[in-house]
């Protein structure tokens, strides 16, 4: 019998509601399934035929250790979903640069370095009115904040402190997120499966339920699906995104009105994950929204 480990974190030893649905379906199909804490020393990972990265929502707090754990699994021959190259690529939001280089429309992003460029400098150079600042390794809007051009001077120290802790990204704030919400599209083995629309609470820009956001089932347009498909690792386009086959992909996309279209494109990819998540960042993303789509 095939033994499957659903890797989770210490805060979610019983998995998320999404992943409990997945576990129950796997059991129904005759697999032996065990929930395992990814950083538990006592787990014998080589006793499993397959390890699925699921509710590891603390990976961004221990990223080096998390990637070392994934590399150890790979070295011992344990099958990892998603595969190690995808997990490593998707752990840092620099993957957005690869996607942009491959022709995917992404949210305009700056990558400041300590002492080189201030928030005020970024606003002057880009002409943006508002921006969102977040760590380059993050999940669930962790240490993510919004700032306006007129407030930049008051937030310079906050950016400096963030840069002391690690790499930071500054993205153009697109107001469509507050009015239209953000689409999350789920692909399984390369095929579109289902989607949900995530909406922030009034007065906020974060769509996560932890911050009062709501998630509803929806039917995305064919053009939204097509934009999300551009972000798939494994495209044969000569880019850095090549040769990264994924089992599951979670892509976040939203509409941009004509006046704001980057390069005259209507939809913008926020994040991708076959791991986790953040504007365009989910190839290990734990949430696959199974509660919105019966298996």
Residue that wins the pLDDT comparison between 63 and 283:
63
Give me the domain span that covers residue 150: 109-172
Same domain, yes or no: 163 and 265: no
Q: What is the CATH number of the domain that holds 148?
A: 3.30.1490
Structure tokens at 167: 């790499």
Same domain, yes or no: 228 and 209: yes
| Nearest partner of 103 among 222, 227, 191, judged by Cα | 227
What band does 82 get if pLDDT is binned at 50, 70 and 90?
Answer: confident
pLDDT at 294: 43
pLDDT at 281: 34
Residue 264 pLDDT more than 50?
A: no
What band does 152 get if pLDDT is binned at 50, 70 and 90?
Answer: very high
- As a whole-number percent, the residues of the chain with pLDDT over 70 amount to 82
Residue that wins the pLDDT comparison between 30 and 290:
30
Report the b/e string of 35-62 with b at 16+ CB within 10 A.
Answer: bbbbbeeebebeebebbbbbbbbbbbee
Residue 274 pLDDT more than 80?
A: no
Distance CA 165, CA 105 (A): 29
Same domain, yes or no: 284 and 199: yes
Q: How far lies 167's CA from each of 79, 100, 113, 163, 267, in Å? A: 30, 19, 7, 6, 27
Same domain, yes or no: 163 and 203: no
Same domain, yes or no: 101 and 241: yes
What band does 56 get if pLDDT is binned at 50, 70 and 90?
Answer: very high
Place of tokens 């990264």: 244
Place of tokens 């070295």: 75
Angle between helices 119-126 and 156-165 (to 10 degrees): 110
Residue that wins the pLDDT comparison between 2 and 105:
2
Same domain, yes or no: 168 and 208: no
Structure tokens at 157: 């120290």
Q: Is residue 89 part of a domain?
A: no
The contacts of residue 188 (CB under 8 Å, 6+ apart) are: 247, 248
Q: What is the CATH number of the domain that holds 14?
A: 3.40.50
Same domain, yes or no: 45 and 147: no
Q: Is residue 87 part of a domain?
A: no
Residue 229 pLDDT more than 50?
A: yes
Prior bond to 247 cis, omega within 30?
A: no
């Amino acid at each position: 019998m095939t033994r499957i480990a659903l890797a989770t974190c210490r805060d979610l030893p019983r998995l998320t509601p999404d992943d409990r649905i997945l576990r129950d379906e796997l059991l129904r199909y005759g697999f032996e399934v065990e929930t395992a804490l990814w950083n538990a020393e006592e787990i014998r990972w080589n006793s499993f035929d397959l390890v699925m990265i699921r509710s590891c929502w603390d990976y961004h707090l221990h990223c080096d250790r998390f990637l070392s754990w994934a590399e150890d699994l790979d070295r011992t021959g344990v099958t990892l979903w998603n595969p190690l190259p995808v997990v490593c690529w998707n752990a840092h939001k620099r993957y957005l640069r690869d996607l942009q280089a491959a022709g995917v429309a992404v949210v305009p992003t700056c990558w400041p370095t300590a002492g080189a460029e201030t928030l005020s400098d970024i606003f002057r150079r880009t002409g943006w009115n508002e921006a969102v600042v977040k760590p380059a390794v993050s999940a669930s809007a962790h240490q993510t904040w919004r700032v306006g051009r007129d407030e930049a001077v008051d937030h310079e120290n906050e950016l400096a402190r963030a840069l002391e802790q690690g790499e930071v990204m500054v993205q153009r704030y697109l107001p469509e997120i507050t009015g239209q919400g953000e689409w999350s599209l789920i692909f399984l083995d390369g095929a579109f499966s289902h989607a949900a629309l995530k909406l922030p609470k009034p007065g906020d820009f974060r769509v996560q339920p932890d911050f009062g956001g709501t998630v509803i089932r929806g039917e995305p347009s064919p053009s939204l699906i097509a934009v999300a498909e551009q972000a798939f690792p494994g495209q044969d386009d000569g880019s850095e995104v090549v040769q990264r086959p994924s089992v599951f992909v979670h892509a976040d996309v939203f509409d941009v009105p004509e006046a704001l279209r980057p390069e005259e494109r209507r939809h913008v990819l926020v994040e991708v994950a076959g791991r986790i998540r953040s504007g365009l960042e989910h190839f290990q993303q734990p949430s696959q929204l199974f509660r919105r789509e019966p298996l």
